[in-house]
C-alpha cells in the first residue's frame, strides 16, 4: 500500500483541500497544522494556476489571491519541505497539467519525492493521456490519482483497474463549489469501482456539511471538502486556521 492509501487504513477518511498561498504561505502552514491536529487523514494542497478549469468561483478566487501575492510553485515546494518536519499524514498536490509542464515534469516529480509529496491530482488530464506523466510518477514514487466523474460511465472499470493511491469520485457535473443537494447515483459508481479494484475511493465536489460528509462516507471510503474551507480563508484571512481546525474536527467526528 502506498502512503496515500494509508490515509484510509483507520476507517473513513476526511480529506480537506487548501489552496497554497491564500492569503500567504505562513497561513497555509498554520491551516495544514490545524487540519492535521484535528483529524485530517490526508490533505490536498492546491498549487495555484491562472486558469483552474475544474474550480468554481470560491477556489478560483483563492487561486487569484495566491497568484496576486506572488506565490510560485518553487515557493510551495519550499513550504512543503518545511511543513514535512511537523506533519506526517499523506499530502497530495492538486493542480493542472500546465503547472507541471512549465516547471518541467521530471523536476516537478523529483521535487515531490524530495519534499515528501505522496500523490498528484490533475483534473484536466484525461485518462487516455496519463502516459505523459505516469512513467515519471512511478520513477519518483508519486501516486497519479485518477478521477471518475458522473460522465465516466463505461470508462469506470478501465480507470478503476489502473488506479493508484485512491480514486477521486466527482459527485456532480460542473465545477467545485458548495451544493445544497447531490443527486448523482454515487452508489452505482462506487459499486462499479468495487468490482474492479480494492483501492479506496473518496467523494469530492459540493460537500460542505457534516451531514453531507457522513452520507458520502457511507457510500465510499472518505469525503473531500474544498470550497467550504476556502470560504473560511476568504472570510477570516490570517485568522482562518483556528476556524479550519474546528471545521475539520466537526467533519471528522461525523465520519467516525
Give residue-wise pLDDT tens across range 94-123: 999 999 999 999 999 999 999 999 999 999
- The average pLDDT across 120-135 equals 94
255 domain residue, yes or no: no
Domain range holding 187? Answer: 5-248
- The average pLDDT across 142-148 equals 96
17 domain residue, yes or no: yes
Give tens-digit pLDDT for 189-243: 999 999 999 999 999 988 889 999 999 999 999 999 999 999 999 999 999 999 9
254 domain residue, yes or no: no
pLDDT at residue 255 greater than cutoff 50: yes
- The average pLDDT across 63-71 equals 94
153 domain residue, yes or no: yes
18 domain residue, yes or no: yes
* CA–CA dist 30, 83 (Å, integer): 9
197 domain residue, yes or no: yes
pLDDT at residue 185 greater than cutoff 60: yes
237 domain residue, yes or no: yes
Residue corresponding to grid cell 523536476: 107
The torsion angle over the Cα atoms of residues 200, 166, 201 and 211, rounded to 10 degrees, is 110
Question: How remote is the C-alpha of 82 from its chain's centroid?
Answer: 20
103 domain residue, yes or no: yes
pTM: 0.93
* CATH number of the structural domain spanning residue 138: 3.20.20.70
User: Would the CA dihedral through 96, 97, 103, 105 be positive or negative?
Assistant: positive
The three grid cell numbers given for residue 216, joined into one nine-digit string: 458520502
* CA–CA dist 247, 125 (Å, integer): 31
* CA–CA dist 183, 155 (Å, integer): 20
If one counts the domains in the chain, the total is 1
Amino acid at each position: 500500500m502506498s502512503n496515500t492509501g494509508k490515509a484510509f487504513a483507520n476507517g473513513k477518511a476526511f480529506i480537506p483541500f487548501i489552496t497554497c498561498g491564500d492569503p500567504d504561505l505562513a497561513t497555509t502552514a498554520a491551516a495544514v497544522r490545524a487540519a492535521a491536529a484535528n483529524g485530517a487523514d490526508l490533505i490536498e494542497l492546491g498549487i495555484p494556476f491562472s486558469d483552474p478549469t475544474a474550480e468554481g468561483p470560491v477556489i478560483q478566487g483563492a487561486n487569484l489571491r495566491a497568484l496576486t501575492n506572488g506565490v510560485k510553485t518553487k515557493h510551495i515546494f519550499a513550504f512543503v519541505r518545511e511543513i514535512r518536519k511537523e506533519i506526517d499524514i499523506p499530502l497530495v498536490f492538486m493542480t493542472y497539467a500546465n503547472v507541471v509542464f512549465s516547471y518541467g515534469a521530471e523536476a516537478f516529480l523529483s521535487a515531490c519525492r524530495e519534499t515528501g509529496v505522496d500523490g498528484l491530482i490533475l483534473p484536466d488530464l484525461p485518462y487516455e493521456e496519463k502516459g505523459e506523466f505516469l512513467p515519471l510518477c512511478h520513477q519518483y514514487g508519486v501516486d497519479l490519482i485518477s478521477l471518475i466523474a458522473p460522465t465516466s460511465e463505461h470508462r469506470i472499470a478501465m480507470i478503476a483497474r489502473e488506479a493508484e493511491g485512491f480514486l477521486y469520485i466527482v459527485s456532480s457535473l460542473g465545477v467545485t463549489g458548495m451544493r445544497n443537494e447531490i443527486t448523482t447515483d454515487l452508489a452505482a459508481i462506487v459499486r462499479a469501482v468495487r468490482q474492479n479494484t480494492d483501492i479506496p475511493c473518496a467523494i469530492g465536489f459540493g460537500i460542505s456539511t457534516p451531514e453531507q460528509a457522513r452520507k458520502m462516507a457511507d457510500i465510499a471510503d472518505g469525503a473531500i471538502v474544498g470550497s467550504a474551507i476556502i470560504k473560511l480563508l476568504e472570510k477570516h484571512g490570517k485568522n482562518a486556521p483556528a476556524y479550519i481546525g474546528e471545521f475539520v474536527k466537526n467533519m471528522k467526528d461525523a465520519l467516525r
